Amino acid sequence: MASAPQSPRLPTELPGLTFLSSSGGLMAASLQGDSESGEATPAWLAPAMAANGIGSFDWDLHSDIVDGDDRACLILGIPLDDGTGHRPPPLNSESFLAMLHPEDAPIVRRRVARAVETLGQCGAYYRTVFADGEMHAVRFRGRVLADERGRPSHMVGFVWDATAELHKRVRADHLAVLREERTRFIKEAARALSEATSMNDVARVFTELPLPGIPPDGLILAVLENGRIQILRSTGYDPDTAPPPHNHVPLDADHPAALALRTRTPVFISSRPEYQQRFPGAWAPMVQHTRHSAWAFLPLIASGRPLGVCLVSFAEDRELDSEDRTLLSTLGGMVAQSLARARLHDAEHELAAGLQRVLLPRRVPPLPGFSTAVRYLPAGTGLQIGGDWYDVVPLPGGHVGLVIGDVQGHDVHAAGVMGQLRIALRAYAAEGHPPAAVMARASRFLADLDTGHFATCLYAEVNVDYGAVYAVRAGHLDPLVRRADGSAAVQPVAGGLPLGIDPESAYPVTRFTLDPGEMLLLCTDGLVETRTIDIDEGMERLRRTIAGPHPEGPAALEALADRLEEQAADSHDRDDDIALLLLRWEGPAESRPRQLRRRIQQADLAQISEVRGELRDAVRRWGVGDLADTVELLTSELVTNALVHTDRDAVLTARLYQEGGPEGPARLRVEVDDESDLWPRRRTPGEQASSGRGLMLVEALSDAWGVDPRGSGKRMWFELIHRQPKAADPEPQP
C-alpha cells in the first residue's frame, strides 16, 4: 500500500507567509486560460476589477508565498518600493499579522486555517494600520484549491478596500452611543426639571445641564417680563468682565431672541459673520466683544404663550445637524413647561405669603415687663396658607392679651375667616372686656358670619403687676408653662365649644400665676400632631423640649422659638400650618403706670362683683390698701348707676398718680364712662327709699368728684387722696 501523500503545513500557524507583489497575480495563476479546456481569461475582467478597486492574490500554501497584483499590495498596505527603486523584501506572516488590529488578527488566522482544513472558502473584514499611522479596513474573499493529490495547494481570491465602510461603521457606532446618551439626558433633564418648583430652580437646572454631543460654551435662561426679555440666570459668562449679552431686549427689537419669540420658532446661527449679517443692530452692542461663535435661540412657549428664551452658545463655528436641533428644541419645550409650572407656583406662593403677612400681625409691640417671640410656619403642601394665627394685644394698665387660634381648613377661605376673626377678637380685648366676654363675643361674631367654618382658640390675659393669668379656651390645646426651676408642664384650662358652633356658649375662666422669669407657651396643633404622632405624644415631646435651664433675655426666647420652628420644618409627616407664641414675664416694674381698665357688660351685673375684687387687689398692690373699702364702695355706686340708667356697657378706669415724689401724697382717680346723655341728679331720698343715696356717698367720701361730657355720653369720676404716714420720732436715748 502506498504511503499517504504528505500534506502541506496548514496555516494555523502561518509560518513564513510572504507577500510578493507582481503584475500577474491571480490573472496569471488562476484566471488565465486552461490549456486543456481551451478557455481564455475574459477581456473585460481586468478593467472591471480596476474600476471597482479590487485586487487579486494567489497564495502558494506549500511555499507560503502570496503573489498579488499591485492593487492588492496597495490595499493591504504593502509598499511597492523600498525607496531605492526595488521591491521590498518579502514579509513573513508575523510581520503581516502585526499590521492588523489586535482584535482582528486572531479572527483572520482562524478563518484561513478552517478554509485550508476543509478545502473551502473564507472571507474576513479586518483593520490594518499603514506605515503613516492611518487606520484602514480591508475585506478579502478566497477559495482554497487542491493539487492533483487532493491536498491544499493554493488560496486564490480578491481583496478590496473597506475603509469607507469602517468610517461608516465607526460613525454609526458613535451615533448609536450618542443617541443613547441623548435619551438618557432627556430622561435626566425631565426628572430634574419636574423637581424644580420655582423659576430660579428651573434656571439653575437648565444652566447646569451637560448637553451630550454638543457641549456648549455658555447657557442663558431669559424670561419675558413687561414686553422685554430679561436674563434670569447664565453660565459661561463673567459678569465682572463681560456681562451676559441679550439682556433687557424689547420684544420688537431686531434681535434673534426677539425674533424667536415673535415667530415662535428656534433661531440657529452658525458663525459670527452670519450673526453680524443677519442682525447688525444687535451685533455691535451685545455680541461683538464676546468669545462665542455660534448660537441657538430656543423660544419657550407653553399653552400658546411666550414665556422666555433659552440661549445655547458655542465657542467655535458650528452647523447644527437635524438631530442636534431636534434635541435642543425638545429641551426648550421641557424647559417651557417647567417654567410655566414654576411661574404659577411662584405666583401662588407670593399670593399666599402676602396674604398671610397682611392677616398676621406685622410685629409684636414692645411690652414693658414681658418678652415675647412668635412664629408662623405654613403647611408643607398645598397653597401654604391656612387659618392658624397668633396675636399679642396691649391692654390698659400695661397688661397683655395673648391669642392663639386655628380656623378650620387650609385654604384662602380659611385665611380670610381667620383675618376677620382676629380683628374682631383683638377689638373686643382692646375694649377692656374680660376674657370670658371676649371669647363669647368672638364666638357670636363667627356664627353671624355664617361661613361654615369653626375655630379653636385660646385667649389669656396676663397681669403685668403680679403675673396673674386669666385664660379661656374654646376647643384649643392647653398652654404649657415653664417654671423658674426649669420644669415644664401642661397648664389645664377649662374649655368650651369651638368658636362659631354655639353663639350662646359660655367660657369659664381659669386663673393661674407666673413667677418672674417663667414662660408661657401657646401653639396650634400643627406643632404637636403629625400623621405618625398623636397630640398626647406631641405635647409630651414639646414639654421635654422647653424644659430645663435656659438663658434669660429676649435673645434666648427667640433662639428657643427658632429651635422649635426648625424641628417642625424638618418633619416630613407635617401637613398642617403652625402658629407659636412664647411669653416670659420678667416681673413688675415700679416705673410702669398703675392703671386698671375693665369693660362691664350691661347684661351681666355679676361682673360688678368681679371688678370690685380686681380693684381691691390692685389698690393693695399699689400701696394704698387703706383706701380699698372706700374705693370699692364708691366704684360700685358709679358702675351700678351707669348700668341701671343706660342700656349700654360701662368702662371702668382706675389710675394711681404719685405726686411730689415717693414721699408725697398719692391720688387715686376712678372713672366710669357710659354712652348715655342723661346726667345724674343729686337728690335727698326719703326714709323708706331704696335708692338715691349713691351720689351723696360719693360726695361725702371722696376728695373730689364730677361729671364730664364726652363726644358720646359722659364720664363720672371721683378721686381719693392717700398721704404717707409720718415717721415716728425716735425715742430719746437714756
pLDDT tens sequence across 587-626 = 765 545 577 878 887 767 677 788 888 888 888 888 888 9
Measure the CA dihedral 194/198/200/202, to 10°.
20
CA-CA distance, 685 to 677, in Å (whole number)?
23
pLDDT value at residue 6: 42
pLDDT value at residue 720: 92
Q: Which of 687, 675, 661, 674 is nearest to 717 (CA)?
A: 674
Higher pLDDT, 2 or 511: 511
Confidence of residue 133 (pLDDT cuts 50, 70, 90): confident
pLDDT value at residue 731: 53
CA-CA distance, 189 to 551, in Å (whole number)?
49
Confidence of residue 636 (pLDDT cuts 50, 70, 90): confident
pLDDT over 50 (residue 139)? yes
3-state secondary structure at position 673? strand
| Residue-wise pLDDT tens digits, 218-256 | 888 999 888 888 888 888 876 554 445 567 788 888 899
- Average pLDDT estimate for 668-694: 67
pLDDT over 60 (residue 577)? yes
pLDDT over 70 (residue 501)? yes
pTM: 0.53
pLDDT over 50 (residue 11)? no
Q: E-strand spans in 192-319?
A: 218-225, 228-235, 249-250, 267-269, 294-302, 305-314
* Stretch(es) of the chain classified as CATH 3.30.565.10: 594-722
What CATH code is assigned to 594-722? 3.30.565.10
pLDDT over 70 (residue 16)? no
pLDDT over 60 (residue 647)? yes
363-585, CATH topology level? Phosphatase 2c; domain 1 (3.60.40)
pLDDT over 50 (residue 30)? no
- Please report, rounded to a whole number, the percentage of residues in the chain having pLDDT higher than 70: 82
Length of the chain: 734
pLDDT value at residue 3: 40
Confidence of residue 300 (pLDDT cuts 50, 70, 90): very high
Q: Tell the burial category of 481 from Cβ atoms under 10 Å away from its Cβ (0-12, 13-18, 19+).
A: buried
CA-CA distance, 91 to 138, in Å (whole number)?
18
Total Cβ atoms within 10 A of residue 280: 10
* Stretch(es) of the chain classified as CATH 3.60.40.10: 363-585
- Write the CB contacts of 162 (distance below 8 Å, at least 6 apart in sequence): 125, 137, 138, 139
Name the CATH superfamily for 182-350. GAF domain (3.30.450.40)
Query: 18-161 domain in CATH 3.30.450.20?
Result: yes
pLDDT value at residue 244: 58
* Stretch(es) of the chain classified as CATH 3.30.450.20: 18-161
Confidence of residue 31 (pLDDT cuts 50, 70, 90): very low
Higher pLDDT, 661 or 161: 161
- Asked whether 578 and 523 are in contact (CB, 8 A), the reply is yes
Q: Which of 719, 720, 718, 714 is nearest to 642 (CA)?
A: 714
HSE-CB of 427 using CA atoms within 13 angstroms = 9
CA-CA distance, 401 to 249, in Å (whole number)?
55
- Asked whether 496 and 507 are in contact (CB, 8 A), the reply is yes
- Asked whether 268 and 279 are in contact (CB, 8 A), the reply is no
Listed range (255-269, 309-323, 371-385) with the worst mean pLDDT:
371-385
- The per-residue pLDDT of the chain, averaged, comes to 80
Element (H, E) at 185: helix 163-195
